[in-house]
Amino acid sequence: MRHVHAVAAPQPRRFAALGLDLIERIILIALFYGLAQRLVANYAATHNIANLLALISEALVVVLALIRRMPQTITFRIDDWALAFGGACATLFVRPVAMPPLGPQEIGWTLQGVGFLGALWCKAALFRNFGVAPAIRGVEERGPYALLRHPMYASYFIGQLGFVYAFPTPWNAAIVAIWTLIQILRINAEERILKTEPRYQAYAARVRWRLVPRLY
């Protein structure tokens, strides 16, 4: 997710934005607690290293949420929040199963590893500008954000593709398909807010593609 600087909101809305930011942090910590338990249990059952990679990645989300900048403003729309946390939580419903992968298991591991490293790179690039709900915090144009406007979601998609490859059930495929749709809607919600900022407009003019080069 990406954020840009803007003129400070009127004082009452500023206080409300800070309150929503605090609520988001609390939700993220609670979600991580539940997710960590599940990932550890999955690793114990399957010994799939992807569970440990996901645990590290999501732990970093909590750390960044705790040290990030306060928002200049943050969305007050319920549907924006639903998309943000729907995208964050939808893949909690995928299930590792005892069945053969679609092909050589190294392909699934590679895709999940690439997705993990890509997401890690994006989080490191955003650093204190990281957030979940659409907000205005700052702009990052270096690293992966010089290539795509939403490279973190692209990295997540690669990782989820690797998961479905490794555990190819109709259930997992359906969950990832729903998650992908949510992420596209989430990107549109973020861009609706971010493109009100001239600096982001200039950035979007330079970096044309949001998720997939030459496609979207």
Stretches in the chain below the pLDDT threshold 70: 1-12
Interval 171-195: pLDDT, tens: 999 999 999 999 999 999 999 988 8
The per-residue pLDDT for 11 is 66
Indicate the domain borders of the chain: 11-206
The per-residue pLDDT for 8 is 45
Contact between 204 and 145 under an 8 Å Cβ cutoff? The reply is no
- Return the CATH class of domain 11-206: mainly alpha
The per-residue pLDDT for 191 is 93
Rounded to whole angstroms, the Cα distance separating 134 from 82 reads: 11
Strand partners, 74: 135
Three-state helix/strand/coil letters over the chain: CCCCCCCCCCHHHHHHHHHHHHHHHHHHHHHHHHHHHHHHHHHHHHCCHHHHHHHHHHHHHHHHHHHCCCCCEECCCHHHHHHHHHHHHHHHHCCCCCCCCCCCHHHHHHHHHHHHHHHHHHHHHHHHHCCCCCEECCCCCCHHHHCCCCHHHHHHHHHHHHHHHHCCCHHHHHHHHHHHHHHHHHHHHHHHHHCCCHHHHHHHHHCCCCCCCCCC
